[in-house]
Amino acid sequence: MEIDAILDRFHLLPPHSKAALKAHISEVQYPKGQTIIRAGRAEKTLYFIQSGIVRAYSDGERGDVTFWFGQEGDVVISMKSYVSGQPGYEHIETLEPCQLYQMKAQDLESLFTTDIHIANWGRKLIGQEMIKTEERLISMQFKTAQERYLDLMSATPGLLQRVQLCHIASFLGITQVSLSRIRAEIR
């Protein structure tokens, strides 16, 4: 996905503002299995996914717990690091080879103070990310595992072919055995 299309997903910018924002964005590539954001660090970079898929997870007592997948067009950010400057709690790793656009948080903050259109774009970006977090929390609290699986299939059908079932099960908060049972019931 091209950077113009990704930026437009959050909020449309006038051409001069989009050009100013893009001037601070560069392309990077990471192989499958690369950790691009580490827990316990105050991360200073945000990414937009051009191609590939990533997952966010935290270390738990019984292994890691996946709580987010990002794919083409999504922003990859440690929200705690970005908003408060404190070390984040999540690891974000590539599940496929990834082409990403990267931007330093400091550059974005500087643009916020000089361009109201970019500031509004940033407000919309953070707002959309907060809504995703809220929806995930509500889903985990009030929906069954089967309902969460069906929602995942509906919202991101290609994800199931690109992500290992152990990560899908972790994301749904269930074991792989339970995921296999749900998949068998749906067929």
Q: pLDDT band at 48, cuts 50/70/90?
A: very high
For residue 165, give the nearest of 183, 144, 142 by alpha carbon: 183
Q: pLDDT band at 62, cuts 50/70/90?
A: confident
For residue 55, give the nearest of 88, 31, 91, 87 by alpha carbon: 91
Domain ranges of the chain: 3-142
- The pTM (predicted TM-score) of the whole model is 0.94
Tokens of 110: 């500087």
Predicted confidence (pLDDT) per residue in 129-170, tens digit: 999 999 999 999 999 999 999 999 999 989 989 999 999 999
Residue 149 to residues 58, 94, 115, Cα–Cα distance (Å): 20, 22, 41
Residue 38: which H helix or E strand, with range?
none
Average pLDDT over the chain, rounded to an integer: 96
Predicted confidence (pLDDT) per residue in 30-47, tens digit: 999 999 999 999 999 999
Q: Look at 187 and 76; give whichever has higher pLDDT.
A: 76
Contact 9, 48 (CB under 8 A): no
pLDDT given at position 134 = 95
Q: In terms of CATH architecture, what is 3-142?
A: Sandwich (2.60)
pLDDT given at position 164 = 96
Least confident of 3-7, 58-62, 92-96, 176-180: 58-62
Query: What residues form DSSP beta bridges with 102?
Result: 26, 47
Q: What is the DSSP letter of 39?
A: T
Question: In angstroms, what is the C-alpha Rg of the chain?
Answer: 17
Residue 150 CA to residue 144 CA, distance in Å, equals 10
Please report, as a single letter, which amino acid is at residue 90: E
